[in-house]
Amino acid sequence: MALFKKQKRNIDLNVAPLIDIVFLLLIFFMLTSEFTDFKTIDMISPNQSNTIIQKSKLPIIINLSEKGLIEIDNVSIALTDLPFTIKNKLKNSENDKIVISTLNETKINLLINIVDMIRSLGIENIALITKENK
C-alpha cells in the first residue's frame, strides 16, 4: 500500500530566456571589444626589385650592429644625428634608396626607430638586409 503517490508531471523546458541572455552577451562583447589597427612597415626586399643598379645611383647603406652602433660609409653615427647625415648624403646623391644592413640579433625597437626616422624625411624606398652572426 502506497501512502504517498508521486504524480508524474510533464516538465517543460523553456529556452527563450536562455536565448535572450546569449544574444545579450553576444551584443555586449561585440560592443566592448576593441579592434586594434597594427602599424605595419612596408619594405621592398632586394629580391623583389627588378631594376639594375647603376654605379651612379648606388643606395645609401646603413650598417646596424647587434649592439646598436650605426655606421654609414664606415663612419659611426649617433641615432640623433642620423636624419641630418642622411639628408647630406641625399643632397650629394641622385638616388633616394636606403638599404639597412643588420644582423639577426639586432633589437627590433632600434630598427623600427631608424625606419621611422628615414620615413619622416620623406623616403619610401627602404630595403632591409639581414645577415647571420658567425
Q: What is the pLDDT of residues 76-116, one digit of tens each?
A: 888 888 888 888 888 877 777 888 888 877 778 888 888 88
The mean-pLDDT minimum among 43-47, 77-81, 105-109, 120-124 falls in: 43-47
Q: How far is CA 132 from CA 84, 111, 113, in A?
A: 29, 16, 21
How many whole angstroms separate alpha carbon 46 and alpha carbon 49? 6
Among left, alpha and beta (phi > 0; psi -120 to 50; other), residue 78 is beta
Residue 1: band (very low, low, confident or very high) from pLDDT cuts 50, 70, 90: low
Asked whether the beta carbons of 68 and 76 are under 8 A apart, the reply is: no
Q: How far is CA 22 from CA 17, 29, 89, in A?
A: 9, 11, 62
| Domains, in order of start, for the chain | 55-131 (3.30.420.270)
